[in-house]
A and B are shown apart, each in its own frame.
Chain A
């Protein structure tokens, strides 16, 4: 294991990729601390300390705190994702984009180009919206405006729009650089860094609590143990899959059959990834936002209190939503009929099961069964942190969602590292290019 890690740095190409990635990450973190011009950070801090809007919190987590500090990277990579989703959507509606999507290399280049233009456009509009929002902010404590009066108006809007748009384009470029020349997927890593960046601060805070005597050391041990257990659990579930063996007629030569049992259709327990949680949490912010938007709904206050994070009702609804979205999303991305059709066309079948309808039914059955624990798992890891925060009075930075994301990105990046080692396998560096033992 240790030797493998040494080997990573012994391969010049890989070493360069790692240093490059670290360099880009450093630039990203640096930009996450440069505020947009003309804003009073104290007012902002006061405002967000009072704000109950959990959507802000969620978003802030993914951009590494850049949103609440309103830095040049406040928009993060989101406009880019919006643009690519919109382009994909256009592909289903307009034949022109559909054809581009099928055109191979040249078409992909064009789509990337359109996505970039779209990103500029979207981030510009979002930045304008944010500039209006910032101009409306006053500190609940001092009553001061976040933006000085002299700067208010069109000047501030243009300034903010330009700096935020530039920031987003830079992040997009940084992400692409990591994907192309560094290690791992740029966009994933940028989110990963945003979350992990809080780790040192959190550790120090915990330490200070213990040192100051406000937290019993034993209690602290329990907290650490719970964090480790949860991480291990998440790794386990993320990797867990059901391997359905596939047989293809080609596998037969004469009377002899190859022993190879590696044609496998894997189904993950957590097929849907992190999406259901984020779907659910953005839905959960809706009631609060609606009440905020429609004035004169004081009678709704009571209801909205029920939806306050951490409450029992909140938790139950949240959990149910996650389970619902897991099924919803899995059903959309993984259509057993499509898969059965795909299998049939490539001549494969699941031993003992007829191709076509029977196979689709079988896959559907298996999928429904493994999705249930998968969805409960997702609900569990998103709710437990809330309870712990409430019950143990722990300032719990590391919710299950963020650990899930961190684990997912880390595993992917590790795999990329492994792929590089594989290619160098026969240069005398390694016996095996594997970093961890696992059935494939």
Chain B
């Protein structure tokens, strides 16, 4: 184990002093690791049957109520022995420490290439012994499958069963995967199965068991970066098809700036005066801004949004007859994801692909609330330190930093900052060409798929052979990334592509390692800074694994999307922007300033997450209520009793004609369907309410308070209405003449025909002046200081205008 050096000790002291939850001190684990090693020496001579027998004995003990903690040392030793025999690997001490940390339900930071996948096997085994199922949540489907297959033999030697879930699997396959002792799958699959299980009409279709323990891999990507977007499942509705073509034509006829203005980053559109006149005249519909005109207005906005703000190859691809969304963060195609409501239809019309059925939100959960479903959670990642507070506050995960097995030799060079994008592009190409000529492998990390392709085109025109990851196939990408360390390789990818795959110097077989190492190892170039330092570090971390040499550097320009999007490039005083001949700004101040701007972005995103989080608390409580109510209805005869109270004559009538069993089944199905519909309407309603709730602040009302009050009020009537609606349908069934077959439900209502929504809007804005009149204490004394206060308000107002 590497020695703690002085800087770590100082760092640790400062952290403690600030009340940090971070643990640098892994000394505490040394004793346990020694004990495991000691125990392991006695296991070397065991036969495979004896290993199996040991594992079996542990299982018996756990099931008879022994505390798993007491079995930590012998079970870890047994796993280490099994790993050694099956995979011919002797686990490092660091991996054992990582395993212990994971067992304790903490977050382990372990550098890339140190073997996190293997480290997870130890706690998985110990926690799976009770037979309640352990989930390992991986970064993508490819890794779920790879890891399950890779580690499978180890588990089998120890008498555990392993399964994995892939996108597109059917109900029976999923059920079987979830029944295994250990299941590898992505958090998305786990989350959506969870949501879908709460929409089933038949208990035999439920795929998941109760949750027990989960280990989250690449925790920062999942729990922080992607936590911004809630998981939403939607299902088809019976809405009629709409005529959207006229709106698409109208949108094409309109001119940006003249007829409408838009904010490309805020994704917001508004019509100008001239535009309003134009539209009202073209549509001949009279006043747009009335309760009746709003339907046309809504379709027009969607058409404009689709036409001018969503771009082919950036936001979506057309494959076959379908629109496929590209995930903004990962740069890859997001399967079964759609834009909400009319926007998706508008894009379909724009691209001339046939419309798919319209949908409505069925259920939704945030990553944060989903992870909370697991009684015990652990996590691991290579980049946790920057987000340590967030992990603690949101997920209750304390961070333990595990030093790398060998010291990291990567050099992180300071950014090269350029004034314009064009100058940056030139410099980038030159740098790649120069370095490539030496044979040193280069990995270029871009922001979008389009950027990757454009860069590749330029490089190929220069005669530089390069490989591009195209956001389509995980397995293919993994094979390319694995070779990114080969001498002379130039690999271009978005930040997220190919994660979880080791980049070995000299190619995947490491044949050429010495030569590449002597060239300086893998050179990672970032073409943009990302939303947080942590994501930058994810990219840097591709280089310098296990003591390999390496180098990382970012090429950025003040015109980069990130800075323009948040309009903070304007915050750098002009006098510092002095450039050399090639447009490079060589000024330490600007580099510092850019780090600061990145912190501003992190802060703002953090605020958004925090606000959205507060608005999700009550809705999540209600979701739980609906879910348990629904499960009870699904599993028991409760529906019959409830509807009998609501509509006794109708129920009795059917009962007399169809008999008890069929009636109960009808009642159940109808009540479930009514409940789902009400919940779906309720969610849409609440989403709308939330979108406009910030206006309450202008009247000095607390938006969150109003939101919660209204949510509570409406939730109560919602449950009532569901029962009424079910009774109504039952009555209709009675009039139509009762049938023996179930009144449900064509295929479209089945939860397997679901997709996810992309929502990422932030309706919340701050208005500090209102605080003055809102907070009485503040107001009173601010009033006494009236000259000062008046001055402040005047200056603020002037500032807002400019």
Residues of A near any B CB (own CB < 8 A): 58-59, 62, 76-78, 81-82, 84-86, 88-89, 92-93, 95, 98-99, 102-107, 175, 185-192, 241, 246-258, 260, 262-268, 271-279, 282-283, 329, 332-335, 338-339, 342-357, 405, 408-409, 412, 415, 418-419, 422-423, 425-426, 432-434, 440
Instruction: Give Cα distance in the complex from A338 to B698, angstroms.
Output: 11
Instruction: Give Cα distance in the complex from A247 to B604, angstroms.
Output: 28
B780 contact from A258, A278, A346, Cβ within 8 A: A278
B769–A332 touching, CB < 8 Å: yes
A88–B699 touching, CB < 8 Å: no
B298 contact from A86, A250, A282, A344, Cβ within 8 A: A250
A188 contact from B775, B785, B789, Cβ within 8 A: B775
Which residues on the A side are within 8 Å of B768 (C-beta)?
A: 88
Shortest 3 CB-CB contacts between residues of A and residues of B: A104-B603, A278-B783, A266-B699
A103–B573 touching, CB < 8 Å: no
Interface hit among B269-277, B319-327, B404-412, B507-515: B269-277
B692 contact from A76, A345, A348, A354, Cβ within 8 A: A348
Q: Does B203 contact A (CB under 8 A)?
A: no
Task: Indicate whether A273 sits within 8 Å of B774 (C-beta atoms), given known contacts A250-B688, A432-B712, A433-B709.
Answer: yes
* Smallest CB separation, B469 vs chain A (Å): 32
Q: Does B294 contact A (CB under 8 A)?
A: yes
Which residues on the A side are within 8 Å of B708 (C-beta)?
A: 419, 422-423, 433
B705–A418 touching, CB < 8 Å: yes
Which residues on the A side are within 8 Å of B242 (C-beta)?
A: 254-255
B599–A103 touching, CB < 8 Å: yes
B777–A185 touching, CB < 8 Å: yes
A81–B268 touching, CB < 8 Å: no
Which residues on the B side are within 8 Å of A339 (C-beta)?
A: 698
Interface centre among B684, B709, B774 (most CB of A within 10 A): B709
Task: Indicate whether A190 sits within 8 Å of B777 (C-beta atoms), given known contacts A260-B689, A426-B625.
Answer: yes
Q: Does B778 contact A (CB under 8 A)?
A: yes
Which residues on the A side are within 8 Å of B269 (C-beta)?
A: 347
* Smallest CB separation, A222 vs chain B (Å): 29
Q: Does B27 contact A (CB under 8 A)?
A: no
A335–B797 touching, CB < 8 Å: yes
A252–B298 touching, CB < 8 Å: yes
Which residues on the B side are within 8 Å of A106 (C-beta)?
A: 599, 603
A346 contact from B681, B763, B773, B777, Cβ within 8 A: B763
Task: Indicate whether A105 sits within 8 Å of B607 (C-beta atoms), given known contacts A191-B776, A283-B786, A434-B709.
Answer: yes
Task: Indicate whether A419 sits within 8 Å of B287 (C-beta atoms), given known contacts A188-B775, A278-B780.
Answer: no
9 A-B contacts, Cβ less than 8 Å apart? Answer: A78-B781, A89-B788, A89-B792, A102-B600, A107-B600, A251-B294, A276-B783, A346-B691, A422-B705
A278–B600 touching, CB < 8 Å: no
Task: Indicate whether A254 sits within 8 Å of B688 (C-beta atoms), given known contacts A187-B778, A422-B708.
Answer: no
0/1 string, B707-749, CB within 8 A of A gives 1: 0111011000000000000000000000000000000000000
A246 contact from B237, B617, B692, B713, Cβ within 8 A: B692
Q: Does B462 contact A (CB under 8 A)?
A: no
A252–B295 touching, CB < 8 Å: yes
Instruction: Give Cα distance in the complex from A76 to B55, angstroms.
Output: 69
B795–A419 touching, CB < 8 Å: no
Residue on B with the closest CB to A93?
B795
B699–A267 touching, CB < 8 Å: yes
Which residues on the B side are within 8 Å of A76 (C-beta)?
A: 781
Which residues on the B side are within 8 Å of A99 (C-beta)?
A: 571, 596, 600
State the total of A-B contacts with C-beta under 8 angstroms: 286
Interface centre among B298, B599, B795, B797 (most CB of A within 10 A): B298
0/1 string, B564-597, CB within 8 A of A gives 1: 0000100101000000000000000000000010
Which residues on the A side are within 8 Å of B684 (C-beta)?
A: 253, 258
Residue on A with the closest CB to B690?
A263
A409–B788 touching, CB < 8 Å: no
A282 contact from B287, B600, B625, B786, Cβ within 8 A: B786
B239 contact from A59, A253, A412, Cβ within 8 A: A253
Within 8 A of A (CB), among B686-705: 688-689, 691-696, 698-702, 704-705
* Smallest CB separation, B449 vs chain A (Å): 28
B691–A264 touching, CB < 8 Å: no
* Smallest CB separation, B567 vs chain A (Å): 10
Known: A265-B699, A423-B618. 17 other contacts (CB 8 A): A82-B788, A93-B795, A106-B603, A247-B291, A248-B688, A248-B691, A249-B297, A250-B691, A252-B295, A254-B237, A255-B242, A258-B681, A268-B700, A282-B783, A333-B769, A333-B772, A433-B712
* Smallest CB separation, B378 vs chain A (Å): 26
B606–A104 touching, CB < 8 Å: yes
Which residues on the B side are within 8 Å of A264 (C-beta)?
A: 692, 695-696
B625–A58 touching, CB < 8 Å: no
Instruction: Give Cα distance in the complex from A132 to B17, angstroms.
Output: 41
Q: Does B800 contact A (CB under 8 A)?
A: yes
Which residues on the B side are within 8 Å of A58 (C-beta)?
A: 784
Instruction: Give Cα distance in the complex from A107 to B778, angstroms.
Output: 21
Task: Indicate whether A345 sits within 8 Å of B270 (C-beta atoms), given known contacts A88-B768, A257-B295, A332-B794.
Answer: yes
Task: Indicate whether A345 sits within 8 Å of B266 (C-beta atoms), given known contacts A89-B792, A107-B600.
Answer: yes
A274–B688 touching, CB < 8 Å: no
B773–A273 touching, CB < 8 Å: yes
A104–B239 touching, CB < 8 Å: no
Residue on A with the closest CB to B604?
A104
A344–B799 touching, CB < 8 Å: no
A92–B799 touching, CB < 8 Å: yes
B776–A260 touching, CB < 8 Å: no
Q: Does B791 contact A (CB under 8 A)?
A: yes
Which residues on the A side are within 8 Å of B784 (C-beta)?
A: 58-59, 62, 78, 278, 282
B689–A262 touching, CB < 8 Å: yes
Instruction: Give Cα distance in the complex from A389 to B786, angstroms.
Output: 27
Which residues on the A side are within 8 Å of B605 (C-beta)?
A: 104
B603–A103 touching, CB < 8 Å: yes
Q: Does B621 contact A (CB under 8 A)?
A: yes
Which residues on the A side are within 8 Å of B775 (C-beta)?
A: 185, 187-188
A254–B788 touching, CB < 8 Å: no
Instruction: Give Cα distance in the complex from A354 to B280, angstroms.
Output: 12
Instruction: Give Cα distance in the complex from A357 to B271, angstroms.
Output: 12
A345–B606 touching, CB < 8 Å: no
Task: Indicate whether A265 sits within 8 Å of B773 (C-beta atoms), given known contacts A82-B788, A253-B360, A419-B704.
Answer: no
Instruction: Give Cα distance in the complex from A314 to B768, angstroms.
Output: 34
Q: Does B793 contact A (CB under 8 A)?
A: yes
Which residues on the A side are within 8 Å of B789 (C-beta)?
A: 85, 275, 279
Instruction: Give Cα distance in the complex from A423 to B705, angstroms.
Output: 10
A412–B696 touching, CB < 8 Å: no
Instruction: Give Cα distance in the complex from A113 to B705, angstroms.
Output: 29
Q: Does B602 contact A (CB under 8 A)?
A: yes
Residue on A with the closest CB to B783?
A278
Which residues on the A side are within 8 Å of B618 (C-beta)?
A: 422-423, 425
Instruction: Give Cα distance in the complex from A267 to B696, angstroms.
Output: 9
Q: Does B796 contact A (CB under 8 A)?
A: yes
Instruction: Give Cα distance in the complex from A186 to B273, angstroms.
Output: 47
B776–A274 touching, CB < 8 Å: yes
Instruction: Give Cα distance in the complex from A188 to B360, angstroms.
Output: 45
A355 contact from B289, B709, B772, B781, Cβ within 8 A: B289
Task: Indicate whether A251 sits within 8 Å of B773 (C-beta atoms), given known contacts A99-B596, A352-B290, A422-B712.
Answer: no
Interface centre among B705, B773, B797 (most CB of A within 10 A): B773
Which residues on the B side are within 8 Å of A77 (C-beta)?
A: 777, 781
B294–A252 touching, CB < 8 Å: yes
Task: Indicate whether A415 sits within 8 Å of B781 (C-beta atoms), given known contacts A265-B698, A349-B289, A351-B291.
Answer: no
Which residues on the B side are within 8 Å of A255 (C-beta)?
A: 239-240, 242, 295
Task: Indicate whether A263 sits within 8 Å of B777 (C-beta atoms), given known contacts A99-B600, A252-B298, A278-B784.
Answer: no
Instruction: Give Cα distance in the complex from A49 to B604, angstroms.
Output: 54
